[in-house]
Chain A
Amino acid sequence: MYEFFFVLIPEYMPFLLQGALVTVQISVLSMICAISLGLLVALGRLSNLRVLRAVLAAYVEIWRNVPLIVQLLVIYFSLPQLGISLPGFWAGVLGLSLNVGAYLSEVFRAAILSVEGGQKDAGLSIGMSRVMIYRRVILPQALRIAVPTIGGYFIALLKDSALVSYIAVNELLRHGTIVISNTFKSMEIYLMVAMVYFIISFISARIVAHVERSLTPAYLRVAQAQA
């Protein structure tokens, strides 16, 4: 106990926190890419272009049905064979973005479809174009509907990013294993890694909840108050 708190933590925590910084960076970057990708894929799947719809549907199905760790390994070890050599960090960002993007596209699609229908007809019936209707009517509502789910996916991504330690990204878990290979204190170090993940994740969840509240627009607050 004494050793854990007064020797191991002061000695190795700074190194673990360096890894934690990379965990946060890779998660935030991947999330930004995944949101953009997911929204574009959702819009593409709702378009009139049949080929595009089929290609995007295939992407979503494939990425949702292969384990994330396998996707990361394929990207990290296969792309160099095609002459594309990505450093571990960027391979990780690519892998996580493609994976979460596939899930988020379904979130966006559902949110958009929940607004479509009547309000789209109403927009059309006063002469608005499809682009206008999406920009002014559907997306402002759909994006807000999607916010809580996106927040949930971000928390999940923070934790799933531990998998990129397998492709040599020096993030939190990998820094932990490096320390363990030097000290053989696996129980204590893994415990420290777990504590750091918990703290990052817990704080992020609070931030997400706050963002969610501040993004809830007046029209939804009245609807909720009356429900």
Chain B
Amino acid sequence: MSNALSPLPISASPKRKPEEGMDPMSSNKSARLSIVSEKPQQSVAPNPAEPLLTVRGLQKRFGSHEVIKNIDLEVSPGSVTFLIGPSGGGKSTVLRCMNFLETPSAGEITFAGERLCHTEKGRLHRASDAVLRRARAQMPMVFQHFNLFAHRTALENVIEGPILVLGRPREQAVADGRELLRRVGLLERADAYPAQLSGGQKQRVAIARAVAMEPRLILFDEPTSALDPELVAGVLDTIRSLADENRTMVVVSHEMAFARRLADRVHFVADGVIAESGSPDEIFDAPKNERLKQFIRSILH
């Protein structure tokens, strides 16, 4: 079964072990560390047992359509969480509620010790815009359709957030931005506009833009779904190299082999609830839920 689930080149090797040569980010470890070490990875959560992100009783309705019925989940620091499941099951909406691109209908979301929203007497109370903006800046999202700023070069896309939101001096942002582009293998394309980049290149710039925020958590919304098949591997390699740095990530993806290899925890989302949760082995090798069994059968075809 595990072989059948692993059609991609990232299959057999053990989890989280960087593969030299394949990985555009691992080519220069000292440079990578220099950026990583500036980041307060250790101070992410004072208590490592405390989850970085907690979602309780999340609900989301669009009009009369209930997309998310009731979702609870926790993301612990340094972990990689995958949300998998059938299309329309609500995975992306869960993700978009976490950073308030969608406002939940009900529920409680806590991020880095700060409550972003809670429900009291049936009414949702959301934190102030300033709090939400601060939270978003610490959990940037990578989108299915990249959503690069079309009028800015690759480098300008990456440095926009650090300069405008984090208030970094321009020279520092440029230096860091170029280093990030180098790590995603796109330094020589730093001055290219999005229209001049392939889908895979755009997505790697978008990942660099997210990492440039020095985030505590990165949200990935189907990062490879809009890519031509031959461009998928490069983007997955980039994401995996982030996992190798013990970054906290929540990933919505249809790449099951990738989920299996990278995930610490997998949630199967269907019909607006988490139908089953577990380690990749539990989910893929010993599914209990009927819908999950059916889903896994269907993706094996």
Which A positions have Cβ atoms within 8 angstroms of B?
Answer: 115, 118-119, 121-129, 132, 136-137, 140-141, 144, 217-219, 222-223, 226
- Known A119-B149, A125-B99, A137-B149: A222·B195 in contact at CB below 8 Å: yes
CB distance from B109 to the nearest CB of A (A): 15
One of A118, A128, A219, A223 near B143 (C-beta < 8 A)? A118
Question: When the two chains form their complex, are residues A226 and B196 in contact, meaning their CB atoms are under 8 A apart?
Answer: yes
Contacts of B210 in A (CB 8 A): 125-126
Chain A residue nearest to B142 (CB atoms) is A125
Question: 10 tightest A-B contacts by CB?
Answer: A127-B137, A122-B147, A118-B147, A126-B161, A223-B195, A125-B141, A219-B193, A127-B165, A127-B136, A127-B133
Question: What are 27 A-B contacts defined by CB distance under 8 Å?
Answer: A115-B150, A118-B143, A119-B148, A122-B141, A122-B148, A122-B149, A122-B206, A124-B99, A124-B101, A125-B136, A126-B136, A126-B137, A126-B161, A126-B165, A126-B209, A127-B136, A127-B140, A128-B164, A129-B133, A132-B164, A137-B149, A141-B150, A141-B151, A218-B193, A222-B193, A222-B195, A226-B196
Contacts of B196 in A (CB 8 A): 222, 226
Contacts of B99 in A (CB 8 A): 124-125
Question: When the two chains form their complex, are residues B195 and A226 in contact, meaning their CB atoms are under 8 A apart?
Answer: yes
One of A121, A132, A219, A223 near B147 (C-beta < 8 A)? A121
CB of B145 closer than 8 Å to a CB of A: yes
Which of A119, A125, A128, A217 lies at the interface centre, i.e. has the most chain B CB atoms within 10 A of its CB? A125
CB of B134 closer than 8 Å to a CB of A: yes
Question: When the two chains form their complex, are residues B134 and A121 in contact, meaning their CB atoms are under 8 A apart?
Answer: no
CA distance A222 to B164 in the complex (A): 26
Question: When the two chains form their complex, are residues B165 and A118 in contact, meaning their CB atoms are under 8 A apart?
Answer: no
Q: How many positions in chain B have a CB within 8 Å of any CB in the partner chain?
A: 33
CB distance from B78 to the nearest CB of A (A): 21
Which B positions have Cβ atoms within 8 angstroms of A?
Answer: 99, 101, 129, 133-134, 136-138, 140-141, 143, 145-153, 160-161, 164-165, 193-196, 206, 209-210, 213, 219
CB distance from B162 to the nearest CB of A (A): 9
CA distance A136 to B163 in the complex (A): 12
Contacts of B140 in A (CB 8 A): 125-127
CB distance from B151 to the nearest CB of A (A): 5
CB distance from A157 to the nearest CB of B (A): 28
Contacts of B137 in A (CB 8 A): 126-127
CA distance A204 to B106 in the complex (A): 57
One of B143, B145, B161, B193 near A127 (C-beta < 8 A)? B161
CB distance from B201 to the nearest CB of A (A): 14
Contacts of B164 in A (CB 8 A): 128, 132, 136
Question: When the two chains form their complex, are residues B151 and A127 in contact, meaning their CB atoms are under 8 A apart?
Answer: no
- Known A126-B137, A128-B165, A223-B195: A217·B160 in contact at CB below 8 Å: no
One of B150, B151, B160 near A126 (C-beta < 8 A)? B160
- Known A127-B136, A226-B195: A119·B161 in contact at CB below 8 Å: no
Question: When the two chains form their complex, are residues B147 and A126 in contact, meaning their CB atoms are under 8 A apart?
Answer: no
Contacts of B141 in A (CB 8 A): 121-122, 125
Contacts of B129 in A (CB 8 A): 129
CA distance A226 to B198 in the complex (A): 12
Contacts of B138 in A (CB 8 A): 127
Chain B residue nearest to A122 (CB atoms) is B147
Chain B residue nearest to A141 (CB atoms) is B151
Question: When the two chains form their complex, are residues A121 and B149 in contact, meaning their CB atoms are under 8 A apart?
Answer: no
Which of A119, A126, A136 lies at the interface centre, i.e. has the most chain B CB atoms within 10 A of its CB? A126
CA distance A226 to B193 in the complex (A): 12
CA distance A183 to B264 in the complex (A): 93
CB distance from B111 to the nearest CB of A (A): 13
CB distance from B51 to the nearest CB of A (A): 21
CA distance A137 to B150 in the complex (A): 9
Contacts of A118 in B (CB 8 A): 143, 145-147
Instruction: For the A-B complex with A119-B147, A122-B143, A126-B140 known, give 4 more contacts whose Cβ atoms are closer than 8 Å.
Output: A121-B147, A125-B101, A125-B219, A128-B165
Question: When the two chains form their complex, are residues B149 and A127 in contact, meaning their CB atoms are under 8 A apart?
Answer: no
Contacts of A141 in B (CB 8 A): 150-151
CA distance A118 to B144 in the complex (A): 10
CB distance from A109 to the nearest CB of B (A): 19
Chain A residue nearest to B212 (CB atoms) is A126
Contacts of A223 in B (CB 8 A): 150, 193, 195
